[in-house]
Amino acid sequence: MEGSHGPYEQWGFRRKIILAVEDEGLADSDYIRILKESLEKKVDVLERIIEKNAEQKDILSDQNSSPDELQNNLDEKGALIDEIEELDKGFEVVFEKVSKELQENRSSYKDEILEMQRLIRKITDLSSEVEIEERENKLLAEQKFSYVRTQVQKVRKSQKAVSNYYHNMMKTNYEDPQFMDQKK
């Protein structure tokens, strides 16, 4: 994706989009290439989100997993979602710069347009898969939290029973003070 294709290959993709938007001297073909790279990057990020969803499912299914494991997974997914939002914003800005050229010279960019359409279909499929996995993981999370609440309630009841037991046991060995008449 980020190979040696143009004037900004030494910078990261985010920087490439920023520079492309600010640089009025780029050729339309460079903007179109950036659009395609943006879509490829989004496919990559969506595939990584799918991996994180699988990890999350494992964490939620494992009764011995820790809350920290789940939080780390959620943090990593959050960073990926932020990356997708940045890609979408950058795509929109670059697309605005080149959309007129694409429409006026469709035949000149036929291959690029077909490739972008293929990537968009793939993104749509991956997005649907992510959405389904998110719903499944939400159900698993609700079940896990319900299980944890039940366990907490059982522990509290057990602690109360133990406390009552010890309290009662202490009373059986304890006699209230009694007055003894020592006159005889």
Res 178: pLDDT: 64
Res 8: pLDDT: 41
pLDDT tens digits, one per residue of 74-121: 999 999 999 999 999 889 988 988 899 889 999 999 999 999 999 999
Looking at the predicted structure, is the pLDDT value of residue 138 above 50?
Answer: yes
Tokens 């050729």 belong to residue = 27
Q: What are phi and psi of 50, to 5 degrees?
A: -60, -40
Looking at the predicted structure, is the pLDDT value of residue 13 above 90?
Answer: no
Which distant-in-sequence residues (6+ apart) come within 8 Å of 54 by Cβ?
Answer: 133
List Cα–Cα distances, 88 to 39, 40, 148, 163, in angstroms.
9, 12, 38, 58
Contact of 124 with 42, CB cutoff 8 Å = no
Tokens 């997005």 belong to residue = 127
Given pLDDT bands bounded at 50, 70 and 90, which one contains residue 184? low
CB atoms within 10 A of CB 70: 17
Contact of 21 with 60, CB cutoff 8 Å = no
pLDDT tens digits, one per residue of 156-172: 887 877 777 777 766 66
Looking at the predicted structure, is the pLDDT value of residue 9 above 60?
Answer: no
Given pLDDT bands bounded at 50, 70 and 90, which one contains residue 17? low
Task: Write the secondary structure of the chain as one string of H (helix), E (strand) and C (coil).
Answer: CCCCCCCCCCCCHHHHHHHHHHCCCCCHHHHHHHHHHHHHHHHHHHHHHHHHHHHHHHHHHCCCCCHHHHHHHHHHHHHHHHHHHHHHHHHHHHHHHHHHHHHHCCCCCHHHHHHHHHHHHHHHHHHHHHHHHHHHHHHHHHHHHHHHHHHHHHHHHHHHHHHHHHHHHHHHCCCCCCCCCCCC
